[in-house]
């Protein structure tokens, strides 16, 4: 029997919505990363984008354990000497809460062209509203 491979034109994409309120950041990010890659589908193929779209709402109400709010740091660099800027998780949640989830999911994807394409299927919103009602997203089943 020959091994079956998914072809990019044959992939069916679903839309899922996730409410991040009260969810632990890392555990939620792993579930989202697996859905973006399509690892929960029987037709998963590592070199083809078989994943689904994920819409995350209430990103500003994400939960973390321990002292991560004050000790977890986010770094960015302007490219100039001395251009390193650092923020704590608490400051990042106040300024750009969508980046916290996007960066956590990005770290759980492989580092290649395919993962950059898969990351474009992640839509993160700070509040409870999102503009993707026309796609009628279903709630994502999160394992506890």
Which residues are CB-contacts of 126 (< 8 A; sequence separation ≥ 6)?
58, 59, 60, 97, 98
- Identify the pLDDT of residue 1: 85
What is the C-alpha to C-alpha distance for residues 102 and 32, in angstroms, rounded to an integer?
Answer: 10
Q: Per-residue pLDDT tens for 60-73?
A: 999 999 999 999 99
Q: For residue 4, what pLDDT is reported?
A: 86
pLDDT of residue 122: 98
Across the chain, mean pLDDT equals 95
% of the chain with per-residue pLDDT over 90 = 94
- pTM of the shown model: 0.93
For residue 9, the SS3 value is: helix
Asked if pLDDT for residue 30 goes beyond 80, the answer is yes
């Amino acid at each position: 029997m020959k091994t079956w491979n998914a072809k990019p034109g044959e992939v069916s994409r679903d839309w899922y919505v996730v409410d991040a309120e009260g969810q632990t950041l890392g555990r939620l990010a792993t579930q989202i990363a697996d859905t973006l890659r399509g690892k929960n589908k029987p037709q998963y193929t590592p070199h083809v984008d078989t994943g689904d779209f994920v819409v995350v709402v209430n990103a500003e109400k994400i939960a973390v354990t321990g002292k991560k709010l004050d000790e977890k740091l986010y770094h960015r660099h302007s490219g100039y000497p001395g251009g390193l800027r650092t923020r704590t998780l608490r400051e990042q949640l106040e300024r750009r809460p969508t980046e916290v989830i996007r960066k956590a999911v990005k770290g759980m994807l492989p580092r290649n062209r395919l993962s950059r394409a898969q990351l474009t299927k992640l839509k993160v919103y700070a509040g409870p509203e999102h503009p993707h009602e026309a796609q009628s997203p279903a709630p994502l089943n999160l394992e506890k």
